[in-house]
């Protein structure tokens, strides 16, 4: 990536900016929620464990034919509080990675999802976005990629919860996935 030259602001521009903006009050930083840092030595998944946690969803052929393209996805593992699902729905977790499955068939999408989740777990990602699309070009078959993503995520033990993204982040054509800390 090419670095640009330092940006210089003239004294006149700086004065005009200060007059336009007016007096400012610094934000109180204690109002912001920061995710706790993980201890560097804490083990999560060994590579084989990460892959084993993802494998059942990859081999499954189970697809929900009743899943409508506009129907939002939502799921949480037993023991995951409803409040976590609400936070995920509100977008309180930062997105650590994104996968776009547009243009792939079901088999390709499952393999891409498997590789993406394995990589996310290896990077100790907390929350990721998966863009599966709404299935508008799938015709009478409905949203096949969306259904496959739903099936894979439900069967993947490394997934703590997931919900359809908000309107500005893909809506019912994407999901935010919270990965379980191991």
CA 111, 112, 113, 116: dihedral to nearest 10 degrees? 120
Give the model's pLDDT for residue 176. 92
Give the model's pLDDT for residue 177. 92
Give the model's pLDDT for residue 54. 59
Give the model's pLDDT for residue 74. 86
- How confident is the chain (182 residues) per 10-residue block, as mean pLDDT? 64 86 71 50 53 57 50 86 89 88 88 90 90 69 80 89 80 86 64
> Residue 44 is encoded by which pair of tokens?
């999560």
Give the model's pLDDT for residue 66. 44
pTM reported for the whole predicted model = 0.61
Separation between Cα atoms, residue 36 and residue 73, nearest integer Å: 28
- Kindly give, in sequence order, each residue whose CB lies less than 8 Å from that of residue 173, ignoring residues fewer than 6 positions away: 131, 132, 133, 134, 146, 165
């Amino acid at each position: 990536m090419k670095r640009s030259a330092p940006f210089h602001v003239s004294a006149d521009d700086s004065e005009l900016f200060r007059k336009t903006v007016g007096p400012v009050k610094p934000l109180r930083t204690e109002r912001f929620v920061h995710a706790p840092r993980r201890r560097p030595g804490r083990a999560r998944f060994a590579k084989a464990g990460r892959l084993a946690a993802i494998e059942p969803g990859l081999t499954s052929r189970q697809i929900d034919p009743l899943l409508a393209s506009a129907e939002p996805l939502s799921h949480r593992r037993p023991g995951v509080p409803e409040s976590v699902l609400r936070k995920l729905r509100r977008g309180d977790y930062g997105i650590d990675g994104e996968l776009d499955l547009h243009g792939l068939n079901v088999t390709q999408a499952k393999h891409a999802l498997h590789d993406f989740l394995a990589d996310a777990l290896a990077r100790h990602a907390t929350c990721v976005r998966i863009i599966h699309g709404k299935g508008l070009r799938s015709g009478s078959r409905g949203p096949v990629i969306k259904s496959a993503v739903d099936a894979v995520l439900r069967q993947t033990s490394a997934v703590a919860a997931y919900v359809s993204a908000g309107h500005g982040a893909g809506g019912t054509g994407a999901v935010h996935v919270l990965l379980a800390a191991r």
